[in-house]
Amino acid sequence: MESCLNRILQYYNVRWNIETGYRYFKELLGFDQYQLLSMKGIERFWFLEFLMYNFLEYPRLNWQSDCIPHSIGDVVRRIRKDSLGQLVVYAYEQGLNQKPLMSILKELRLTA
């Protein structure tokens, strides 16, 4: 009975990782909007997911401490936070250099 329970728990652990992985890809990365209309589209979808997972897995392993495991979702949130921070620093530096606002917006492609 105990070995059966252990096996069920092992399967549930694998399933949990798969389910949370799908949630990260759908909610945090927008993969729920991808249209799967052909076999080529399905292949592209899985190729993009594979690339994205590997892109996120590398920093996840580098940032992982002995005490606190990081999830793929944690990595996505950290990359977004770092990117936003870099954008704020860039805008601040451009302001210090008295660069015109329209020039900064154009460079950031935030104007039509």
Domain range summary for the chain, segments of one domain joined by +: 34-107
Residue 70 has pLDDT above 70, yes or no: yes
Q: Kindly provide the b/e burial profile for residues 58-96, where b requires at least 16 CB atoms within 10 angstroms of the residue's own CB.
A: ebbeeeeeeeeebebbbbbeeeeeeeeeeeeeeeeebee
C-alpha count within 13 angstroms, C-beta hemisphere, residue 19: 6
Residue 112 has pLDDT above 60, yes or no: no
Residue 60 has pLDDT above 70, yes or no: yes
Specify the pLDDT at position 84: 87
Burial of 15 (0-12, 13-18, 19+ CB in 10 A): exposed
CA angle 90, 106, 78 (to 5 degrees): 40
Contact yes or no for 71/53 (Cβ under 8 A): no
